[in-house]
Amino acid sequence: MTAVLRLQGRVFCGLALALVIASVAGARLTPLHELLAAAALISLLGMPHGAFDAVLARKLFGVADFTGWAVFSLLYIGMAAAVVGVWFVAPTPFLCAFLVCSALHFGGDPPAGVTALARGLYGGAVIVLPALWHGPELQRLLGLVAGPASAAVVAPLLGEVAAPWLVATVVACALQARISWLAAAEWAALAALSVMATPLVAFTVYFCAMHSPRHILRTLASLTGAEVRNAVTLSLWPTLAVLVVLAVAAWLSSGEPIEARAMQLVFVGLAALTLPHMVLLERARRLALPAPLDNTACNGE
């Protein structure tokens, strides 16, 4: 599995480099086509990694029978619904909390041995660095999710810290290269992608080509052969449920402009699923369960 993780890191670096070159050359889809492509990719390739929470539930709580799965599902859905409720009544606190929690969560991608400060820089890169050259576009996208007023508060704050964040990232990458060249290359690729590509492209590529597959690979690495087959089967049901919920939500919100509808479905949905997902991962970390929770990816020398 170490070799597979290294290959996944190299694939992400190559894809990021290709998109950086395309961005410099001025190649870009129309904003609407970019948004629709991102929504499709995140829904089909990104969100399903959370379906492996069912595997964690079985390991953490011994959930096996109908009653256990019903209780777990109700708690999981209840936390997700609470996030949607916050988005509805308090969009600015929702947006701030979502971005901070996402940065903390993404900080789990680097391999073992990376400091907490470095993890924070890494996790926040895809959120903060787009504000350096794509501030207006970032503000527009955040406005589609949480409203123009909320975006007008958050986007300028991201713009103020973007340049110092980039400088700190460059220094941290140089230090990381002394320990693991692949981890440093992944970090540099993420930073370059976040600065050069449009915010939506940068997030989509990172989420679908780095975060989601890394989480899945680490989860599978912690299981035996028989457990892997069971885990894949078990994860199909939550994946189908999420896709059905997104389809129903899209139908119910059919009167809204398509850009706002797509952004809200995808990113409010991500925010809703992130809370119970992070709660499970933190619980597993405290119990010292194996990867993906202890960041034991390859060091990639």
Distances 26 to 19, 21, 29, 190, 209 between C-alpha atoms, Å: 10, 9, 10, 19, 22
- φ, ψ for residue 263, nearest 5 deg: -65, -45
Alpha-carbon gap, residue 88 to 195, rounded angstroms: 31
Residue 129: DSSP 8-state: G
Digits of tens for pLDDT over the chain (301 positions)?
Answer: 688 889 999 999 999 999 999 999 999 888 888 888 888 888 877 776 766 777 777 777 777 788 888 888 899 889 999 999 999 999 999 999 999 999 999 998 998 778 889 999 999 999 999 999 999 999 999 999 999 999 999 999 999 999 999 999 999 999 999 988 999 999 999 999 999 999 999 999 999 999 989 988 887 777 666 566 666 665 565 566 656 665 665 565 555 677 888 888 889 988 988 888 888 877 777 665 554 544 443 444 4
Q: Give pTM, 2 decimals.
A: 0.85
- φ, ψ for residue 85, nearest 5 deg: -65, -40
- CA pseudo-torsion sign 56, 58, 63, 64: positive
C-beta of residue 49 within 8 angstroms of C-beta of residue 211: yes
